[in-house]
Amino acid sequence: MYSTSIVTCFGFNTVRHYVSEKNINITKNANTTVIALPTIRDDNTLEMYLSLYPIEKKGKNLIFYKSVKKINGEYCAQYNTDFKYVIGETKTEVVDADENDSCSA
């Protein structure tokens, strides 16, 4: 586990920390969300993820927002730079059903 005592936010940010971490100096802006967690959670439920991440639930659908990086004027996925994003465009992905994979259902 990593730790720090100073966090400075630029752009859109979500900062999560545990309530027990008392001496964190967070400099935030209007686009910063700070989430103070009571303890390490082990109840991996949809409700838990909805409370921790910028996810919108609309009926049976979930809308996930993710960070991307900009390379040569194009926005691309962090781990697959061939996957491009265009502002205003919606991407749809099939979720891997393997619940043992951290990026799956």
> What is the spatial distance between Cα 57 and Cα 64, in angstroms, rounded to a whole number?
9
| 45 vs 27 pLDDT, higher one | 27
CB 17 within 8 A of CB 9: no
82: tokens are: 């061939």
Query: Is 15 within the bounds of a domain?
Result: yes
**Domain range for 4:** 1-40
pLDDT grade, residue 54 (50/70/90)?
confident
In this structure, the answer to whether residues 13 and 45 fall within a common structural domain is no
Kindly give, in sequence order, each residue whose CB lies less than 8 Å from that of residue 80, ignoring residues fewer than 6 positions away.
none
Structural element, H or E, at residue 34: strand 32-37
d(CA 49, CA 67): 17
Same-domain status, 32 and 64: no
Both structure tokens of 96: 């891997």
What is the tally of structural domains in the chain?
A: 2
Higher pLDDT, 91 or 100: 91
Task: Note whether residue 102 is domain-resident.
Answer: no
One domain, residues 58 and 29: no
